[in-house]
Structure 1
Amino acid sequence: MAYSFRSSTGSDLEFSAGELTGALGDSVTVLPLIVALGATTSVSLPHVLIGFGVFQIVWGLYYGLPLSVEPMKALIGLAIVGTLSYAELAAAGLVAGGVLLAVGHLGLVGRLQRVVGEPVIRGVQLAVGLLLLEAAVDLSLGNLPVAAGGLAVVGLLAIVGYRQASVLVVLGLGGVAAVATAGVPTPAIPEIGVFPAGSPSITAAALEGTVAQLGMTVGNAAIATALLCGDLYDRDVSADDLSTSMGVTCLAAIPFGGVPMCHGSGGLAGKYAFGARTGGANVLLGIGYLALALVATGALLAAFPMAVLGVLLVVVALELARAAFEPITGRRALAVVLGVGIIGLAVNVGVAFVLGTIAFWLLSQRS
């Protein structure tokens, strides 16, 4: 059974089994990352979930499409591994939001993409994936039997054709273990306040992370997502419009405890693959996030098995690394991707991004 409504842009919103399964397809990378962020930083997980819930609904209603709303992976990954504090993460998100709003309004997204170059952006993805993999190994070593069990579950489900769903299964098992330890949480509405987890702090590390993230966001969350809207849904959504909406999301959510968020081609493709065809998937997922925010207590998060978290980060890290190499062809482009990834792991992502951009420009001049 399906129910249909009309969005603000004149598109139909459908509520059906396909929209529900499609919504789950977008949560595969969102939930592991924000649970990991909640477990490793001072972020307030209920406020983060509220941010995701609200803006899933907002952009689903506005665009009438199952657009993804996901964490800015470079910034979130750097926070999880300890390179950025929560205060620096919040500052980086606000700066990124301001830049995205400005470049989207001025129609500069395409120009920014051409300056940076796709191999550099993919290299940043690889660097973040390697950093997450390093953190995953550290977390898994705390309880090897649990980590091995989690990896076995992921591997088994991947073999039988449920690779993406395996992440949600492992996350669910970790949640069950946390409830068994901490007890069933009592639903509570999070308090509303400005910067509930701490005030933002602009530092060199925050600015470096912002620059690296903007390269990924422009390429994947704006340009690639705009192309997919046409390919999958036959809808003309401009990259500049998507940049503007991402800027609005960050500037509106972060002061109230949210984290840097963006759209993404992977999340949009995931929703489509799992059956979502309208913004109804966003509404359903947004309601789910808001409901989860009511029970995401600190005690429950503290009881979540860290080794299971390590397994989740392994899966996310490998997915980022796979996405980094998939569209790259040519030895020069591959060299830039590998160089940025390795320097990002060994030094930091900001330095890798700058050096990669310079290298890409020099190689382009020789073509």
Structure 2
Amino acid sequence: MGISVRREGQRDLQFSVGELTGALGDSVTVLPLVVALGALTPVSLPHVLLLFGVFQIVWGVVYGLPLSVEPMKALVGLTIAGTLTYPELAAAGLLAGGVLLAAGSTGVLGRLERYVGTPVVRGVQLAVALLLAKSGLELGVADPVLAGVALLLTLAVVALGYRRTAALVILAVGVALSVAAVGVPSPSLPSLTLFPAGAPQLSVGAVEASLGQLAMTVGNAAVATSLLCADLFDADVEADELASSMGAMSLLSVPLGGLPMCHGSGGLAGKYAFGARTGGANLILGGLYVLAALVTGLVAAFPLAVLGVLLVVVAVQLGKSAKATTSLPLTVAVGVTGLLVNVGVAFVLGVVAHQLLARR
């Protein structure tokens, strides 16, 4: 049962239980990362959630598909871990957005991907996962009892067969504890200002981080998402088209206080697995994000020990993608180098090593 909106010459939009559950499937990794960023950095959470809501709706209407709108995980993960400051995140997001828009507009994305290589992309994902896990453990140590309770709850949810929703369950527990501590905040709209959390700051670290993010985005959010659109929905959505929309989205979002965003293939697969079949899921989720933007005062009271467990859960989910590699030793080497040195150095060394191995 549901409502279907027919559009001449475009895909219909449906509003049903499947579209609702699919919409929630895309929030499994988005909300934990956004909450962590709001709790640990000066990012303006109302602006972030509002812009997530707006772009969910925009791409749902434009494509008619349940395309994911996610934060660029490498950049956000490095900021949560303290490797990047928020101004550097903003600069890296603008840089990545400009490169994606240019690459998508000129059709060079496919040629760039083969030089990077799947093992390097997976290695960058592993590095970000390791950094998130490290930060989560450090937060959990501050209150080991509460962290232990949250961990036991996570294991119980996984044991019951709800592995994908474990992060949302822990997020709900943290929100409940926040409400108990400070009550329910009064709704308020974010103000419309440029760079409300601080002006961008270009640095060597920002450039290196943007390179690592682009490695992930090209493989995971452009090429892989394009293939999924064909496989799951029989839709012809070119990787370069997705790159252009991600670039434009990030260039518009960051100055208004949002995050650099992408169309992650994992988010699209999550929406589909939970029942979404049309862009109606995006409109539903966009509305929920806008509502959430009105009551973000709870984030300041979010217990950091619970946040630590939440980060570890997200890190495990992200790190599992490293298994889908064609060279596990190279992927692990890139991931460990990213953890011990930095992601930019790991990315460059990984590309060089991949090219040398390919020639042999």
Please indicate the TM-score interval, normalised by the length of the shorter structure: over 0.9
Q: Which residue of 1 aligns with 2:155?
A: 155
- What SS does the aligned partner of 1:11 have? strand
Q: Deviations over 1:3-25 (max 9, x none)?
A: 11135861010000000000000
Q: Of the candidates 309, 316, 326, which is equivalent to residue 307 of structure 2?
A: 309
**Deviation, structure 1 residue 302:** 1.7
Aligned-partner SS, 2:10: coil
Q: Which residue of 1 aligns with 2:131?
A: 131
1:269-308 correspondence runs (5 A) = 269-297=269-297, 300-308=298-306
Partner amino acid, structure 1, of 2:148: A
Q: Shift in Å at residue 296 of structure 1?
A: 0.3
Output aligned runs, 1:1-367, within 5 Å: 1-6=1-6, 10-297=10-297, 300-325=298-323, 327-329=324-326, 333-366=327-360
Structure 2 gaps of 5+ residues are none
Return the TM-score normalized by structure 2.
0.98
What is the Cα-based RMSD across aligned positions, in Å?
A: 1.0
Unpaired stretches in structure 1, ≥5 consecutive residues: none
Give 1:150 deviation, angstroms: 1.2
Q: Which amino acid aligns with 2:198?
A: G
Runs of 4+ in 1 over 4 A off after TM superposition: none
| Contact 1:92/1:210, CA 8 A, preserved across alignment | yes
- One-letter amino acid of the structure 2 residue matched with residue 163 of structure 1: R
Deviations 1:112-165 (A, max 9, x none): 101111100100000000000000100111111211111111111111111112
Kindly indicate whether the alpha-carbon contact (under 8 Å) linking 1:8 and 1:62 is maintained by their aligned counterparts in 2.
no
Deviations 1:42-69 (A, max 9, x none): 1000100011101000001100000000
CA shift in 2, pair 1:8/1:81, >3 Å? farther
State the TM-score, normalizing by the size of structure 1. 0.97
Name the CA distance, whole Å, in 2 between partners of 1:314 and 1:193. 34
Contact 1:9/1:64 (8 A) holds in 2: no
C-alpha separation in 2, matches of 1:9 and 1:244? 22
Instruction: Give the distance between the partners of 1:64 and 1:200, measured in 2 at CA.
Output: 33
What is the percent sequence identity of the aligned residues?
61
Q: 269-278 vs 162-171, which deviates more?
A: 162-171
